[in-house]
Structure 1
Amino acid sequence: MNEQAGKDTFLGMVQKLKERLEGITAEGSAGGGMVKAVVNGKKELVRITIDPQVVDPNDVEMLQDLIIAAVAAANRNLEEQMKETIAESIGDLGINLEF
């Protein structure tokens, strides 16, 4: 394989990895599942679900805290999935990455 073909192969692998990462979604929850957040591989918040029982007009701060916690949990789960996906994708290259 010549140098240009090797570069093209590598760039193709990088593009496929990027597409795989962007296709990932992860969920996080807080308050025993009363608030759930879903983020995608672009790190965008794509859905938030709030159980009506947790909505208390006299305690908005609690709801805000639960939303923040659910989004943070979703982002942590996303990071773990992304690390696993990257490790799987480069494993065939014989490269050992430790996160």
Structure 2
Amino acid sequence: MSKGFSGIPGGMQGLMKQAQKMQADLARAQEEAAEITAEGSAGGVVKVVANGKNQLVSVTLAKEALNPEDADVLQEAFLAAANTALNEAQETVRQKLAKITGGMNLPGLF
């Protein structure tokens, strides 16, 4: 057994098994990210749902929000709701990944 891996249970082989398991867990988490949804709403006139892959999946507008004179208010409400939904979805994915990686920050996974 190599001296460099003497502190790791199972040595190099154990390390490889751990890496393979983490890789499989991360691949599964990436597939499951599309199933994670989060919702954002603003002013009671806009509701946006986003998934864990940073995609908006639905937008619901209240009929009273469709007044052309209030277009700027609707735009601001939409942006606020969309950003809330996306941020919540990202946080849910981040928490799920932290469980898999033991808290290691691995940029670029999602």
Greater RCO (CA < 8 Å, at least 6 residues apart): 1
| TM-score for the superposition, normalised by structure 1 | 0.78
Task: Describe the superposition over 1:30-79 as per-residue Cα deviations: whole angstroms up to 9, x where unpaired.
Answer: 01x32000111111111000010122111211111111111011112112
Distance 2:22 2:75 in 1: 44
Secondary structure class of the residue paired with 2:69 = coil
Q: How does 1:1-99 map to 2 (within 5 A)?
A: 2=13, 5-31=17-43, 33-90=44-101, 95-97=102-104
Structure 2, unpaired ranges of 5+: 1-9, 106-110
Secondary structure class of the residue paired with 1:59 = helix
- Asked whether the equivalents of residues 26 and 97 of structure 2 are also in contact (C-alpha less than 8 Å), the reply is no
C-alpha RMSD over aligned residues: 2.1
Distance 2:40 2:60 in 1: 11
- Asked whether the equivalents of residues 39 and 78 of structure 1 are also in contact (C-alpha less than 8 Å), the reply is yes
Report the number of matched residues: 93
Aligned CA distance change for structure 1 residues 81 and 7 (closer, same or farther; 3 Å): closer
Q: Alignment identity in percent?
A: 30
- Asked whether the equivalents of residues 21 and 85 of structure 1 are also in contact (C-alpha less than 8 Å), the reply is no
- Bigger radius of gyration: 2
Structure 1, unpaired ranges of 5+: none
Distance 2:94 2:19 in 1: 23
| TM-score for the superposition, normalised by structure 2 | 0.71
